[in-house]
Amino acid sequence: TKKIAIIHNLNPHEKRWFDSFFNRLFLHTYDGFVVLSEAVKNEVLKVQPSAKVRCIAHPPYAANKTQLDTQACRVKLGLDPNKKTLLFFGLIRSYKGLSELIAAFSLLDDSYQLCIAGEVYGSAAIYEQALAKSEHKNWKFVNAFISDEELPFYFQAADLVVLPYLSATQSGVRALAFSYQKAVLCTTVGGLAEGLEENQEGFILENTTAQPFANRIHTLFEDTEIQRVNSCLAQKNTTSDQAWIDFAAELQKFSNSL
């Protein structure tokens, strides 16, 4: 029996002393590996140079859209229907840069609002305290798992999905944003921005320091770049079926080559 492992990330974000030993053991027990980014492929080959590795991009998810428009989704979530809306979504861990986003948001004017939706891994106090210090209170913090039924309201309420990750391999949140035809602003760490068509699907964040970060967001809105990208995405065929068929075909082709 040929054994293939699909690896999202080889090295844990919270490192432990025994990781290297078990990674080596793990890699020696499989015949092939599928990864979702070149960054992870390089991690695998660094540990086991002879490994057979195929990189296949993360397909978009099937989007369960709501009948409500953007403004109505914001009202449903308790947000202002007319403010420029930033969304930070997903499991919240320190390496994802939420603290940096809150610091940047605090420098923006009252025309912006921030929605944070996802369960905190650890203590939420650091984020709650940072939000409490913000000059304006245009934010919503939902420290909870977001169900599939609730998910469409958050993405359809947003203008821009922000991924200010400080380290990463790739992101399912980016795939979700594409499914809901929303522009992303993301850093280039790991494989997070691999394959991103800048100015067509989203934008690169070069600096997570508060003022440059805030300036980047402000400029994108002022130049109507976000509106333009969201409009382009809305015209694209982002159905997931063919992408997953292609993923499966690549997986089968790789399996046959082993």
CA distance 97 to 109: 21
Give strand ranges (E) for 90-212: 112-117, 139-142, 160-163, 183-186, 202-204
CB atoms within 10 A of CB 217: 24
> What's the confidence (pLDDT) of residue 178?
87
CA distance 48 to 70: 48
CB atoms within 10 A of CB 214: 19
Q: What are the tokens at 163?
A: 């991924």
> pTM for the whole thing?
0.85
pLDDT band at 83 (very low <50, low <70, confident <90, very high): very high
The pLDDT tens digits of the residues spanning 195-204 come to: 777 667 899 9
> What's the confidence (pLDDT) of residue 86?
98
Average pLDDT of every residue of the chain: 90
Residue 139 pLDDT exceeds 70: yes
> What's the confidence (pLDDT) of residue 198?
67
pLDDT band at 236 (very low <50, low <70, confident <90, very high): confident
CA distance 228 to 232: 6
> What's the confidence (pLDDT) of residue 79?
97
- Orientation angle between helical segments 38-47 and 19-27, nearest 10 degrees: 90
Q: What are the tokens at 130?
A: 């940072």
> What's the confidence (pLDDT) of residue 196?
76
> What's the confidence (pLDDT) of residue 175?
85
Residue range 157-164: average pLDDT? Answer: 96
| Percent of all residues in the chain with a pLDDT value above 70, rounded to a whole number | 97
Q: What are the tokens at 141?
A: 């913090």
Q: What phi, psi does 169 have (nearest 5°)?
A: -115, -55
Q: Of the ranges 27-41, 133-147, 189-203, which one carries the lowest mean pLDDT score?
A: 189-203
Closest CA to 243 of 8, 36, 91: 36
> What's the confidence (pLDDT) of residue 241?
76
Residue 125 pLDDT exceeds 80: yes
| Percent of all residues in the chain with a pLDDT value above 90, rounded to a whole number | 64
Give strand ranges (E) for the chain: 4-7, 32-35, 53-55, 84-89, 112-117, 139-142, 160-163, 183-186, 202-204
